Amino acid sequence: MRASKLYAPTLREVPAEAEIPSHQLMLRAGFIRKAAGGVYTYLPLAWRTLRKIEKIVREEMDGADGQEIAMPIMQPSELWRESGRWDVFGEEMFKLNDRHGREFCLGPTHEEIITDLVRNEVRSYKQLPLLLYQIQNKYRDEIRPRFGLMRGREFIMKDLYSFDKDEEGLDVSYKKMYDAYTKIFSRCGLVFRPVEADSGAIGGSNTHEFTALAKNGESEIAVCTKCDYAANIEKAEAVVLYPQDENELPLQKTATPNAKTIEAVIEYLNMPIEKSIKAVAFQDEKDRLICVFVRGDHEVNEIKLQNAVEAVNLRMADENAILAAGGIPGFMSPIGLKKGTMVVVDETVMEMKNACCGANEIDMHYVNANPKRDFGEVMVKDVRLIQKNDACPHCGASVDITRGIEIGQVFKLGIKYSSALRATFLDENGKEKPLVMGCYGIGVSRTMAAAIEQYHDENGIIWPRAIAPYEVVLVPVNAKNEAQMKLAEEIYTELKKEGIDVLLDDRKERPGVKFKDADLIGYPLRVTIGPKAVEEDKIEIKVRKNGKTIYDTKDGYVKNIKSLLEEL
Amino acid sequence: MRASKLYAPTLREVPAEAEIPSHQLMLRAGFIRKAAGGVYTYLPLAWRTLRKIEKIVREEMDGADGQEIAMPIMQPSELWRESGRWDVFGEEMFKLNDRHGREFCLGPTHEEIITDLVRNEVRSYKQLPLLLYQIQNKYRDEIRPRFGLMRGREFIMKDLYSFDKDEEGLDVSYKKMYDAYTKIFSRCGLVFRPVEADSGAIGGSNTHEFTALAKNGESEIAVCTKCDYAANIEKAEAVVLYPQDENELPLQKTATPNAKTIEAVIEYLNMPIEKSIKAVAFQDEKDRLICVFVRGDHEVNEIKLQNAVEAVNLRMADENAILAAGGIPGFMSPIGLKKGTMVVVDETVMEMKNACCGANEIDMHYVNANPKRDFGEVMVKDVRLIQKNDACPHCGASVDITRGIEIGQVFKLGIKYSSALRATFLDENGKEKPLVMGCYGIGVSRTMAAAIEQYHDENGIIWPRAIAPYEVVLVPVNAKNEAQMKLAEEIYTELKKEGIDVLLDDRKERPGVKFKDADLIGYPLRVTIGPKAVEEDKIEIKVRKNGKTIYDTKDGYVKNIKSLLEEL
């Protein structure tokens, strides 16, 4: 390809709406243009990168016995009503009517469609396992689409669905996908972690998110500094902290005038924060009051709490609800709440000795509270957020908290959809059973954005070789200089012949403009043909990633380029 | 690939809803499944064929300087209002609102989006020509989706848009696409004709439809029996027919009691139908009355008429409107209509001598009407449908009327959209001018269906090699026979190594079932490994297209298969 023909309109200005580097750089470097909020056109450079990612995805899906199909984007409402999700998805689903008034949605996911497809065709255990996938646009009506391709409303996903005869089969399919995902993101050159995650609205009992580490990521993850443990902080198990043993002193009520916050209480009592107990009160969708107690320096993990009390939605409790349960806001205590109030105490709190906590009286706290002795019958659960330096639940080393971008997720669905849609098969004994399902997604367009978040500098993108729109940009310094152009054309022909994906920047622009664009677009290698190349047989090869510059001769440069590319 | 793993659920029964072979066979052979009216899932075999078609399309688009991009399926209404088409498309366009109440449509086509894209970026003639394309789902809410993939509501299209600085540039782009389309459909193995067509609602002044000849096609086309002229009958020019010269006799009114139809009139008057003139009256969207006269054995071409009188919609005229213009329904004549009535006379009618026509009186006709002498001031136009045995407008030989499937269309749009959306550039003299556009579509999913319409027999599909889901099916007669399976596996490995796209039918089914499926799915070649192959080194190769069976040895069969494939 020749840059003079390439449609890659670059911008010198950073568009104001773009907040993070991937969004800014994709606009500036001519990769995408916005058509509506969260809806983009992919220009030729972006499309080349996306097609390279897709190719890697396809190869690994095929290699893991996946078969490619294409399901409709426009899905009839009937199937979604059958599974019970038509209303669950709510405003996040784009809905429309056809001219006859029939309801459709734009697929945010395809469990219903695929379950319907196989329920009419898969009849015997002999047809299992079955793994079907597609690469396609997906639709979610995000309240606030943002960060460019990171949280769009129309985006490209690969989704695979597995069908097995039993849980063991599902384990095998799950492992296959887990391994394939590891290969895919490695091949794309990303720094990522498979992290344990909460299964959320899609349901299922076991799930991992593949998370590209990036400081602008929307996911917070806990990562072990020693072993390969990683978990979404929503999910990450918080190991129980055991304080030094000490003798239990008698419970004692003490005045703490105006000390309504933990900080005020410990200052007033002159105690370390690790000896304080913090109270938080929630109400759920059924208006149940849930009083939660965590250590003063810990935070409540609402997802864990939600799962512990089997709630769907949590909100901060109304003051009246707390008062009605015998609690005093700001001084709430597990001791003295009305019987029947739901009290959840974090596991670490239960191990505390001689701690301070509220006393359910205005301006009063207890000291020397010993939860096991004093709290009575309460629900004890891990309901706190993991923190930096907490112990890794796998190896005990300390964990770090970092951010990342969810680029893939693998899910064990079990029989949730196959039971709802009655997708059954006959097992070895002729018994009818529901298919055991898994689903596995990769955000293809988001993977492109994640790569940019990981690989860029102040001058532009730095593409990993495998997903670069072109591997090499070939820049004649002066396109009006015949000798330079002649040599550049020879090299262009030779590199193409060698199977190298090369762009010839034959534009009649100043060298500065061409070099700036090369850095901005982020081709892994730049080969420069200037006077030195023509007169001294010194062909300049520059590595975008580290700025390393090498000179080679016309006889040697191809080999050099090939070995440089292999390292990138 | 192994058939035991392939998801290709075949059906023994022809589904009742499927009316034409491509629809029936794609359902029976496990290529597609319906999700809703006009909305299908493509199963692995169909997807393989579609991907092969896409690959051919891509190669030829890239070869013709097209650059691939991907535009949104979900399009904001604002652009469509700017072009004035939001309402024009009417119920055929799927519309939806997002959660904030903003209006979108599902793209039936992308002129608005692409014009918006380039209007912000293309500034100089130096950036032209520019050819951008995509391969993507398109959406049209057909009143009556039918014939499987032939007339769906969600379907796959390639659409390319060209931007040039002037009409000459557009001519070049148009020619490039015309040639690329010719290559694409030839490579797909289709029998097709580029036919002159009417430009319809999209607008533009020059257009060809690429039509696959097929008796179940929805398009009627006129094809010269001698030269390469072909045209949609809506568009085909009808050559003026000159009768034998004769002396003009005096116009004479004669009674034709109860003879309201042409057949009744000519029977009553005992005249050949070629000497009669038929009247048809229309009204347009502005309620204008349009009285049309064609020869008794000819039919009015409503599209030509519409263009001639610059109407958007035509309907049969109300009786009252005819009466108000001085016409008598059933006996209408150009002679004696009120002044100002719009009268359109077909060119061939103007050459008639001593013909009969209505007299604008009940039960009365004229004989010896000589239009040039008697009809006064009328609009003379080619407004008749071409008929079998009419003269070819190019070479004069006789034309045939045949049916076909529109699989591609090339359009000169001119400045219709660039003026509406103000997409301009600066020419060589620094003058601002609207971009000159063309658009070029290929129905990718429809091409697959068209291939089946052209190539099938009572046993199933007969794929052209280039777009067959697999080129060769390898059938061990008895998959439980070790020697046969061993040989089959060896051949399977060897064929794959040779780059041949082969499916091994390793299913433990009776040979009859496997042979029937091979014929139904329609692999170009079947290689059978039975006792003869094992014991006598006779490998059977059968050509699906003509049933020809060849035996070859283990040393020779690869060469044989390769040369057979090259012919297919």
List chain A residues with CB under 8 Å of B6. 67
Give 3-state DSSP helix, strand, coil % of chain B, rounded to 5.
30, 30, 40
Kindly write down the DSSP assignment for every residue of A263-310, as one continuous string: HHHHHHHT--GGGBEEEEEEEETT--EEEEEEETT--B-HHHHHHHHT
pLDDT at B295 over 50: yes
Angle, CA of B150, B155 and B158, to the nearest 5°: 105
Residue tagged 């019958």 (tokens): A377
CB neighbours of residue B169 within 10 Å: 18
pLDDT at A203 over 50: no
Is B41 close to A132, i.e. CB distance below 8 A? no
Query: Residue B176: enclosing H or E segment and its boundaries?
Result: helix B167-187
Q: Which of A173, A145, A135 is nearest to A57 (CA)?
A: A135
Q: Which CATH architecture has domain A470-567?
A: 3-Layer(aba) Sandwich (3.40)
Q: Which of A261, A473, A251 is nearest to A372 (CA)?
A: A251
> pLDDT-based confidence at A519, cuts 50/70/90?
very high
d(CA A236, CA A301): 10
Topology of domain A21-189+411-452, per CATH?
BirA Bifunctional Protein; domain 2 (3.30.930)
pLDDT of the residue at A442: 98
Going by DSSP bridges, is the β-strand pair B355-358/B342-346 parallel, antiparallel, or unpaired?
Answer: unpaired
Residue tagged 């398109």 (tokens): B138
pLDDT at B29 over 80: yes
List chain B residues with CB under 8 Å of A143. 99
Q: Hey, where are the domains in chain B?
A: 21-234+401-452, 252-381, 470-567
> pLDDT-based confidence at B258, cuts 50/70/90?
confident
- Tell me whether B511 touches chain A (CB under 8 Å): no
Instruction: Output the CA–CA distances (angstroms, integers) from residue B335 to A513, B250, B269, B375, B376, in the order listed.
Output: 75, 14, 19, 6, 8
User: Alpha helix (H) ranges present in B357-461?
Assistant: 371-374, 416-420, 444-454
pLDDT at A202 over 70: no
- Tell me whether A9 touches chain B (CB under 8 Å): yes
Is B42 close to A104, i.e. CB distance below 8 A? no
Query: Residue B306: enclosing H or E segment and its boundaries?
Result: helix B302-309
- Tell me whether A120 touches chain B (CB under 8 Å): yes
pLDDT at A14 over 60: yes
Burial of A550 (0-12, 13-18, 19+ CB in 10 A): middle
Tokens of B6: 């392939």
Greatest Cα pair distance in chain A:
94
pLDDT of the residue at B203: 46
pLDDT of the residue at A17: 86
Is A139 close to B74, i.e. CB distance below 8 A? yes
d(CA B413, CA B83): 13
pLDDT at A120 over 90: no
- Tell me whether B551 touches chain A (CB under 8 Å): no
To the nearest whole percent, how much of chain B has pLDDT over 90? Answer: 88
- Tell me whether A282 touches chain B (CB under 8 Å): no
pLDDT of the residue at A165: 97
- Closest CB to A44: pick one of B5, B69, B139: B69
List chain A residues with CB under 8 Å of B41. 69-72, 113, 117
Q: Of the CATH numbers 3.40.50.620, 3.30.930.10, 3.40.50.720, 3.30.465.10, which one belongs to the domain with range B21-234+401-452? A: 3.30.930.10
Kindly write down the DSSP assignment for every residue of A398-449, as one continuous string: BEEEEEEEEEEEEEEEETHHHHHTT-EEE-TTS-EEEPEEEEEEEEHHHHHH
The SS3 assignment for B76 reads strand
**Tell me: the pLDDT tens digits for B443-491?**
999 999 999 999 999 999 999 999 999 999 999 999 999 999 999 999 9
Is A137 close to B139, i.e. CB distance below 8 A? no
Rounded to an integer, the average pLDDT of B504-512 is: 95
pLDDT at B49 over 60: yes
- Closest CB to B69: pick one of A41, A73, A102: A41
- Tell me whether A113 touches chain B (CB under 8 Å): yes
Buried b (16+ CB within 10 A) or exposed e, A115-149: bbbbbebbeebebbbbbbbbbbbbbbbbeebbbbb
The SS3 assignment for B272 reads coil
**Tell me: the pLDDT tens digits for A407-425?**
999 999 999 999 999 999 9
Is A132 close to B7, i.e. CB distance below 8 A? yes
pLDDT of the residue at B260: 81
pLDDT of the residue at A234: 85
d(CA A394, CA B48): 45
> pLDDT-based confidence at B200, cuts 50/70/90?
low
d(CA A382, CA A379): 10
Q: What value does the mean pLDDT of chain A take?
A: 94
Rounded to an integer, the average pLDDT of A350-365 is: 94
To the nearest whole percent, how much of chain B has pLDDT over 70? Answer: 99
**Tell me: the pLDDT tens digits for A61-88?**
999 999 999 999 999 999 999 999 998 8
**Tell me: the pLDDT tens digits for B320-373?**
999 999 999 989 999 989 999 999 999 999 999 999 999 999 999 999 999 999
Tokens of A439: 């689903």
pLDDT at A388 over 50: yes
> pLDDT-based confidence at B205, cuts 50/70/90?
low
pLDDT of the residue at B244: 85
To the nearest whole percent, how much of chain A has pLDDT over 90? Answer: 88
The SS3 assignment for B443 reads strand
d(CA A275, CA A179): 44
pLDDT of the residue at B199: 61
pLDDT at B495 over 90: yes
Is B73 close to A120, i.e. CB distance below 8 A? no
The SS3 assignment for B349 reads helix
> pLDDT-based confidence at A568, cuts 50/70/90?
confident
> pLDDT-based confidence at A201, cuts 50/70/90?
very low
Interface of B with A in 144-163 (CB under 8 A): 153-154
d(CA B80, CA A36): 13
- Would you say A509 and A467 are in contact if contact means Cβ atoms under 8 Å apart? no
Q: Which residues contact B99 (CB under 8 A, 6 or more apart)?
A: A91, A141, A143
Is B96 close to A91, i.e. CB distance below 8 A? no
Which CATH superfamily, name and number, covers A252-381?
YbaK/aminoacyl-tRNA synthetase-associated domain (3.90.960.10)
Burial of A95 (0-12, 13-18, 19+ CB in 10 A): middle
> pLDDT-based confidence at B496, cuts 50/70/90?
very high
Rounded to an integer, the average pLDDT of A92-106 is: 96
Is A139 close to B6, i.e. CB distance below 8 A? no
Residue tagged 């042409």 (tokens): B262
Kindly compute the dihedral angle of the four CA atoms of residues A508, A511, A513, A516, in this order, to the nearest 10 degrees. 140
Is B106 close to A94, i.e. CB distance below 8 A? no
